Structure 1
């Protein structure tokens, strides 16, 4: 099977689309670039479909590499037959491949190996043939110094038979099917641990049983974490009699002594070899499913967070609230540059509100502040209440901003590089303010796992999680576009074709030569060749450029086409930009060529109508219920404003202005079956919720989405 045939089988996409996409991927083109600027080649595939091709490609290459290794190993053993070679070459999964390799795999010396050394393999073959008339006497022929009687001889032969059974692919496949469809995962609390306070968060699993096939991702990962922490024991339970009877029917074709020995060998093989091996495999596959599900949730949440509404180029006063250590203030200009910082102490124990109010008011006027960003951590509600008391001379919007990950950023090498002369408290405050100005530009500097919008993110496969989250960041950065003259190294490094080293070179060029005036000037950056330019240019923006197309998503390779379209209409590019009536009259069919089709032409016209348009919404002011300050203030039946701050497969969490977030379980999102929480809410959405239940002891709040 060729790579194209394999990918087509896995994705059901058109052959030409796969062929051309593979070509582009092999040329090191990025997924955002392929999806945006090579639509004619791919048949208009989107980023998700291109990523499916890439995943299938990687799996196929891993499969082929493993096949070559296995064939080489078996050939060295001089055991490779034509039939076995054909089976290995036809294998389409790693599981099938490893089953075929199992009998030839180098492993530690087994009990069956010892029995073979004792000369008992011929006896095992006689038993399996099931035609011995007097098995007891036959077994005596195989007595040796280490095999004292027929009982020992038969026991050794059964060990060999048990291994044969465990290596049969048809039997392993049958048990896999049973485990995948009918087995339960059970959990029981460890008596010496269940009374510990830390164990109480897992008390739901002290006596638990559920279908392994149907267990939700979050529950499986919770059980695994509880087992890892030594709070519970976990095992798989199924209908063993059904499995044993199936194997017996498959192998036993007679009655008598041989059948009895085979039956004993089957029971031993299942208990000692098959069940442990395939149970681990089933758990591992369930873990992979749970990981994939959790990673998808995290990726969706991260995308929504990164594409959160920016305030834009406004001057911001950011406050990182605190009690004993005070509230750290920073003033930022329109581009997020630090202008001023100091600390105020409006809350206990100092409680100097008068000075604090005066200071905020003075700084707001002095630095022409447009908005105030308040971190949502400790003392957030008290600080918000204080700020709302102030009568500013000009209208100033007040926002509460998520602090998640700000402390991680403030202690990072990125933050130290940006602000070498300031401590972590100043850096954290700057991060809060910049998040309001542009969430995407600031959050890309933080390890995505630290942002806290996933479920059990520390329990899933970390390599797969990083790959998925990096793809999300790359997708978001390129979807929005980047101002090359103001972007940080972190933001630039996610631009298609750039990477960390070229991002450094761009910043170095900017420092030495000032702002880029044109997209063509980007080619002057050290080591940024034609290939990198083609990949990146369409995603990099030049504000106030001489050529207005430099501040659009129109790729430079299509500038001549746009100029021709304008000339044909008797106008200029600059005059046609934003002129919807003129643009809608263009006969796009006229400009179709071997390189450019309708998809690209439609993209160009759409961009010309609103060049450089930010796809994100604008930031909106939100106010919590000022009477709700702690969980003790909540009452069943209350209707409260809130902000969705995390989404999982089982529901979403909502910040109602107190330390604890409340849960809207999936069953309380709508009066209908909800298959995807994201169809009803999105991250940072402002909602009204109804309080259903408050458990003060366990700090749990149950909410309902109020329409």
Structure 2
């Protein structure tokens, strides 16, 4: 099967779109560029569909690589037949390939290989024919200096037969089908771990079983984590009699009792010793992969929502990293996020320098013309928020509590050291809190997504797949918003289509040496930024306050001539056309279609012309927690309280109610009707009202409900 047919079969997407997308991917075009600026070629495929094609292409290439390795290995053994080669070339999965290769794979010393070395393979073949009714007598002929008795000869022959059964492709496929439908996953606590502190969170799985195919991803990953931490032991089981019956139906060909009895024994041995362990591991691995995919999907969905969270925008911000004994670190940032001042205040115990702290904050607000205050949501957050709200200011200030997850990771990172070489981690952490209020996307791209505090079991899943998926999410978000080329950090620029780490650093260096970039064309002067990188990146890089208006829009430079013609046809200058919604809506798009530019691209262009450079994100809003809640001891069943959704999983969402512990709204408590997708009801950072159902002070758990 060729690549195109493979992708079409597994994606069910139109042939033309798939073929052109593959061509673009092979030309090193990025997914954001293809989905936005090559709609005519792809048939208007979206990012998800193009990503699917990309993954299938990669999977096909890995499959082909493995096929070539297997064909080479079997050829070297002089065992490759025309029929086997055809089967290998037609295989569509790695599982099929490995089954075909299994009989030829180099093995360590096995019971079967030892039996062969004793000359017992001919006896095994006689038994497998199932026609000899006096097999015990026949076996005596195979006694030699290594085989003392007929029973030893039969045992060796059965070992060989067991290996043949294990390598039988039909047997393995039938058993796989059984395990896929009927396997039960069981977990049992290890006795001496039952009462340990680490085991308490896995108490549900001390004696648990359920059909493997029905185990939701979060539960399977929890059991696997418990096993990894040596709390429980996991087994995958099917009905032994049914499994052996399946093998019997395939292997037993006659009713010659003497021979078939030996085959029956070999079947039981093959199942217990070889097939059951192998296929159990295989189906568990497959279930684990599906659970990983589900968890990664949850994480990527959360990350997308987090990165596209509402920014406050270019405001002068006073940011506070709160604390008790060590005080509160205060920084002042200008509208570009640059650090202008930092110092400590001590409004809380043990110092209680409240009056001095109020005077200092008021002074800083006036001195740096502060427009908003950002307070980290860690230790002493609520106390600091209350302190700020008691401080009298001579202007209206918005006060935001900002999720500081990952700020400490950023503050100790190489990126932070490069940005603020002369400052300690506390200053960097406070700056991060302030900047993520101004622009969450620009700041959060500097932090490993796993440290941002969303998702489920992200440290347990396949880390390579997780990184690939999250990198794609970050790239998608960055390019959907666009980047100011003159203010963006190197980490942010590195996610722009066609740029990458090296070119991002070159852009920053070029800016520092030559000043602000004035036009998109000037990007071609950046070292190593050639025509291909320019094609892929230019439309996602914005020139704020550009002399040429389209340079601050999502219109690709390759389409500038079209827009200029539109302006000419309307007898206005370009700057008079841009933003003139009434005039733009009168443009006849059919007039500007060509062989390569169709209505999808033209529709995007006029939409952009109406509101050039518009940030698709909403604006940040202030949220008020219940002032009566400070600790979990203040939370009582029956309360109705406001909160902010701060994490989403497959089994529900977690809500920040203004204390250290977040509460869980189980999926069954999200709405009156059945819900299968948590995201259909809530989104990250959504402001909600919840009712407290249960508070477990000992385990620090709060159960909430959103049902009226």
* Structure 2: distance between partners of 1:100 and 1:463: 28
- Confirm whether residue 299 of structure 1 aligns to residue 300 of structure 2: yes
Shift of 1:259: 1.0
Match of 1:93 in 2: 93
Task: Give the SS at the match of 2:213.
Answer: coil
Does the CA-based 8 Å contact 2:131-2:256 persist in structure 1?
A: no
**Secondary structure of residue in 2 paired with 1:213:** helix
CA deviation after TM superposition for structure 1 residue 255, in Å: 3.9
Q: 1:330: which partner in 2?
A: 331
Q: Deviations over 1:113-142 (max 9, x none)?
A: 110111111111111111112111100000
Q: Deviations over 1:368-391 (max 9, x none)?
A: 000000000000000000001011
The answer to whether the aligner puts 1:11 opposite 2:16 as a matched pair is no
Aligned: 1:359 with 2:363: no
- Distance (Å, rounded) in 1 between the aligned partners of 2:601 and 2:469: 28
Deviations 1:193-244 (A, max 9, x none): 1101111011110000011101011111110111011111110122111010
* Distance in structure 2 (CA, Å) of the matches to 1:384 and 1:679: 32
Aligned residue number for residue 460 of structure 2? 459
The answer as to whether partners of 2:642 and 2:687 remain within 8 angstroms in 1 is yes
Q: Which residue of 2 aligns with 1:580?
A: 581
Unaligned runs of 5+ in 1: none
Write out aligned runs for 1:24-63 (5 A).
24-63=24-63
Could you tell me how far apart the structure 2 residues matched to 1:452 and 1:290 are? 19
Q: For 1:351, what is the secondary structure of its paired residue?
A: coil
Q: Is the 8 A contact 2:672 2:707 kept in 1?
A: no
Q: Residue 116 of structure 1 corresponds to which residue in structure 2? A: 116
Alignment partners' CA distance in 1, 2:435 and 2:161: 68
Equivalent residue number for residue 133 of structure 2? 133
Q: Which residue of 2 aligns with 1:640?
A: 641
Q: 1:696, CA displacement in angstroms?
A: 1.0
Shift of 1:625: 0.2
Structure 1 residues 153-162 or 518-527, which shifts more? 518-527
TM-superposed deviation, 1:637? 1.4
Measure the CA separation in 1 of the matches of 2:100 and 2:199.
Answer: 43
Indicate whether 1:704 and 2:705 are aligned: yes
Structure 1 contact 688–706 (Cα < 8 Å) conserved:
no
Counterpart contact for 2:133–2:256, Cα < 8 Å: no
Shift of 1:281: 0.6
Alignment deviations for residues 529-567 of structure 1 (CA, whole Å, 9 cap, x no partner): 111111100000001111111110000110010000111
What pairs up with 1:310-459 in 2 under 5 angstroms? Answer: 310-459=311-460
TM-score, structure 2 normalization: 0.99
Counterpart mapping for 1:267-286 below 5 A: 267-286=268-287
> Who is 2:626 aligned against?
625
Name the residue aligned to 1:2. Answer: 2
Q: How far, CA to CA, are the matches of 2:681 and 2:351 in structure 1?
A: 45
Is 1:243 the equivalent of 2:243? Answer: yes
How many Å separate the matches in 2 of 1:175 and 1:583? Answer: 64
Does the 8 Å CA contact 2:669/2:707 hold for their aligned counterparts? Answer: no
* DSSP-derived class of the 1:340 partner: strand
Contact 1:318–1:331 (8 Å) recurs in 2:
yes
2:588 matches 1:604: no
Report matched runs for 1:227-238 at 5 Å. Answer: 227-238=227-238
User: Match of 2:648, SS?
Assistant: strand
Q: What displacement does 1:706 show?
A: 4.9
User: Deviations along 1:487-520, whole A, 9 cap, x unmatched?
Assistant: 0000000000111111111111101111111111
Residue 567 of structure 2 aligns with which residue?
Answer: 566
Secondary structure in 2 matching 1:403? coil
Q: 1:18-44 CA distances to partner (integer Å, 9 max, x unpaired)?
A: 111011101101000000000001110
- Report the Cα distance in structure 2 between the residues aligned to 1:167 and 1:298, rounded to whole angstroms: 39
Q: 1: distance between equivalents of 2:451 and 2:121?
A: 58
Aligned-pair RMSD on alpha carbons? 0.7
| CA deviation vs aligned residue, 1:602-661 (integer Å, no higher than 9, x gap) | 000000000000000000000100001111111111111100000000000000001110
Q: Within 1, Cα distance between the matches of 2:423 and 2:312?
A: 25
Between the aligned partners of 1:358 and 1:238, the Cα distance in structure 2 is 72
Q: Determine the C-alpha separation between the residues in 2 that align with 1:517 and 1:110.
A: 72
Q: Mapping of 1:146-225 within 5 angstroms?
A: 146-225=146-225
**Matched residue SS, 1:63:** helix
Q: Distance in 2 between matches of 1:285 and 1:529?
A: 43
Q: Give how far 1:576 is off.
A: 1.3
The alpha carbon displacement at 1:249 in A equals 2.0
Tell me what 1:494 maps to.
495
CA contact (8 A) 1:376 1:400 kept: yes
- Work out the CA distance in 1 between the residues paired with 2:707 and 2:129: 71
In the alignment, the residues of structure 2 paired with residue 243 and residue 280 of structure 1 have an alpha-carbon distance, to the nearest angstrom, of 16
- CA separation in 2, counterparts of 1:314 and 1:169? 66
- The answer for unaligned runs of 5 or more in structure 2 is none
Q: Is the 8 Å Cα contact of residues 175 and 246 (structure 2) preserved in structure 1? A: no
> C-alpha separation between the residues in 2 aligned to 1:107 and 1:478?
50
Q: For the residues of structure 1 that align with 2:84 and 2:355, how far apart are their CA atoms?
A: 85
Partner of 1:102: 102
Alpha-carbon separation, structure 1, partners of 2:355 and 2:326: 17
- 1:595 is paired with a residue whose SS is coil
TM-score normalized with structure 1 length: 0.99
Match of 1:514 in 2: 515
Q: Secondary structure at the match of 1:500?
A: helix
Contact 2:132 2:256 in 1 (8 A): no
Secondary structure (helix, strand or coil) at the match of 1:192 reads helix
Give, in whole Å, the separation in 1 of the partners of 2:31 and 2:651: 31
